[in-house]
């Protein structure tokens, strides 16, 4: 049977998932390149295709505040944002996580100003990596659509109860049309099920207080619980994804390995660039070079065990980061990777390439060069330069 595929951009794919999820509340403010998500969903609301209470707010700070209110009342709640919009909601982003509200937020990755730039990099969500949100990064529009659906069950899992960012690359994914397989509405609704919040401000028989002052007496314990939820998420996410995979015939995990089994060198890269890097792997494999790729889908929690396991037989690895952390010791993905490998007794040689800031295009040839350099690193058993900049003038 041929599968019917429909033309959608990454933004439209996100909106389509949101239509099928039909959250109780959506509060959002438009920002490039996320705008098309809110625009498309607004049309669904206006056309009566969803019963969602849509709150068009005056800023992202208000958007996340409205989400916190709605989710505290027990509503299945969503929003979406990008870059400076995420920056503006910052204060409330932390509050959403610490209040343990399972808000699902598609984020269309865009460079944070300044200098002002509307194109893709991961500086916005990488900045939010310590906010207590789960984060999943998608390679293409199909994965965006499917990850938003699975995100609902991950975030709402009673052992997790954390908000989640579902990230896609601004313009590269969000504004490119691809052919997408869309699941039946009923199948999606059956998978996500009804949201039964454990606590609700509207449940007057069981009154609760949300957001009280939490000083030296309990703040620490609450933070410790958040940390435990993240730790649990590492084992629960694969089981939720297992159910998703079974229901929709997919193969999602915390990470994706590509031609890694007999590889000697590999790159570790997230989002759309992983696709471009797979093409580089294919080209070099055709020439007999043993190269592979590891794509972390989840960055929060950081899937340390599966990553260390997947990289343990490699001679040399490069982490490709689409953001700068200004730590002077590499981008966030590299630093996490290096930290995870510290405890392993089998450590590949490691370097970092920072690429694509502000939407700078990266092509197959540039990634092939990274592989060729890694082969040299492996051969000489020496990392010449720890942090490299790919495609910068």
Per CB under 8 A, residues contacting other proteins are: 2, 5, 7, 118-119, 140, 169, 171-173, 175-179, 272-273, 275-276, 278-279, 282, 361-364
- Which residue, chain included where needed, has tokens 């950081």? 302
Q: How many CB atoms lie within 10 A of CB 3?
A: 7
Q: How far is the CB of 139 from other proteins (least distance, A)?
A: 8
SS3 string, 82-104, reads CHHHHHHCHHHHHHHHHCCCCCE
Helix 141-156 to helix 185-192 angle (10° resolution) is: 30
Cis bond leading into 116, ω under 30°? no
Half-sphere exposure of 357 (CA within 13 A, CB side): 19
Contact 9, 143 (CB under 8 A): no
Q: Which residue has the tokens 């696709």?
A: 275
DSSP 3-state assignment of 105? strand
Sheet-wide strand order for 255-258 = 255-258, 291-296, 265-268, 316-321, 349-355, 387-390
Q: How far apart are CA 64 and CA 59, in angstroms?
A: 9
What's the min distance (Å) between Cβ of 269 and other proteins?
11
Whichever of 123 and 174 has its CB closer to other proteins, that residue is 174
Nearest to other proteins of 72, 84 (CB atom): 84
Closest distance between other proteins and the C-beta of residue 108, in Å? 13
Q: Which is nearer to other proteins, 52 or 140 (CB)?
A: 140
Shortest approach of other proteins to residue 18 CB, angstroms? 22
Query: 178 or 324, CB closer to other proteins?
Result: 178
Residue at token pair 């505290």 = 72
Taking the complex as a whole, the smallest distance from the CB of residue 177 to other proteins amounts, in Å, to 4
CB nearer to other proteins: pick between 93 and 274: 274
Side-chain-side CA neighbours of residue 79 (13 Å)? 33
Q: Are strands 349-355 and 316-321 parallel, antiparallel or unpaired?
A: parallel
User: Is 24 or 369 the residue whose CB approaches other proteins more closely?
Assistant: 369
C-alpha 38/C-alpha 146 separation (Å) is 18
Nearer to other proteins, 172 or 311 (CB): 172
Q: Which is nearer to other proteins, 7 or 193 (CB)?
A: 7
The H or E element that residue 324 is part of is none
At its nearest, how many Å lie between other proteins and the CB of residue 9? Answer: 8
> Sheet harboring 134-137: ordered strands across?
53-56, 25-28, 77-78, 104-109, 164-169, 134-137, 298-300
Min. distance of Cβ 198 from other proteins in angstroms? 40
Our CB check for other proteins shows the closer of 195 and 355 to be 355
Shortest distance in whole angstroms from residue 2 CB to other proteins: 7
| CB within 8 Å of 204: residues ≥ 6 apart | none
Closest contact distance (angstroms) between CB of 178 and other proteins is 6
Choose between 2 and 206: whose C-beta lies nearer to other proteins: 2
Is residue 29 a contact partner of residue 87, using CB atoms and an 8 Å limit? no
Report the nearest approach of other proteins to the CB of residue 59 (Å). Answer: 23
């Amino acid at each position: 049977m041929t599968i019917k595929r429909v033309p959608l951009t990454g933004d439209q794919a996100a909106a389509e998932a949101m239509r099928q999820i039909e959250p109780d509340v959506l509060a959002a403010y438009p920002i490039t390149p996320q705008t098309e998500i809110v625009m498309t969903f607004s049309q669904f609301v206006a056309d009566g295709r969803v019963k969602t209470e849509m709150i068009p707010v005056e800023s992202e700070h208000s958007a996340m505040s409205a989400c916190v209110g709605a989710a505290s009342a027990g509503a299945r709640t969503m929003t979406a944002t990008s870059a400076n919009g995420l920056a503006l909601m910052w204060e409330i982003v932390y509050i959403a996580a610490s209040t343990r509200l399972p808000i699902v937020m598609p984020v269309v990755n865009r460079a944070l100003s300044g200098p002002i730039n509307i194109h893709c990099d991961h500086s916005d969500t990488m900045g939010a990596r310590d906010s207590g949100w789960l984060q999943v990064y998608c390679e293409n529009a199909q994965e965006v659509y499917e990850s938003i659906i699975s995100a609902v069950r991950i975030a709402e899992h009673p052992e997790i109860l954390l908000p989640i960012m579902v990230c896609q690359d601004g313009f590269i994914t969000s504004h490119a049309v691809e052919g997408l397989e869309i699941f039946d509405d009923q199948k999606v609704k059956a998978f996500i099920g009804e949201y039964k919040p454990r606590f609700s401000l509207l449940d007057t028989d069981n009154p609760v207080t949300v957001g009280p002052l939490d000083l030296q007496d309990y703040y620490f314990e609450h933070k410790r619980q958040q940390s435990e939820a993240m730790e649990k998420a590492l084992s629960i996410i694969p089981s939720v994804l297992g159910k998703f995979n079974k229901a929709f015939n997919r193969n999602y995990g915390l990470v994706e390995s590509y031609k890694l089994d007999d590889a000697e060198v590999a790159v570790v890269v997230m989002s759309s660039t992983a696709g471009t890097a797979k093409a580089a792997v294919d080209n070099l494999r055709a020439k007999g070079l043993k190269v592979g790729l590891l794509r972390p889908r989840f960055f929060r929690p950081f899937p340390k065990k599966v990553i260390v396991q997947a990289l343990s037989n490699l001679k040399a690895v490069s982490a490709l980061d689409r953001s700068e952390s200004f730590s002077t010791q590499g981008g966030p993905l590299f630093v996490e990777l290096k930290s995870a490998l510290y405890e392993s007794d089998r450590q590949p040689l490691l370097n970092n390439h920072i690429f694509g800031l502000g939407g700078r295009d990266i092509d197959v040839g540039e990634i092939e060069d990274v592989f060729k350099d890694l082969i040299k690193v492996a051969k000489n058993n020496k990392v010449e330069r720890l942090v490299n900049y790919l495609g910068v003038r």
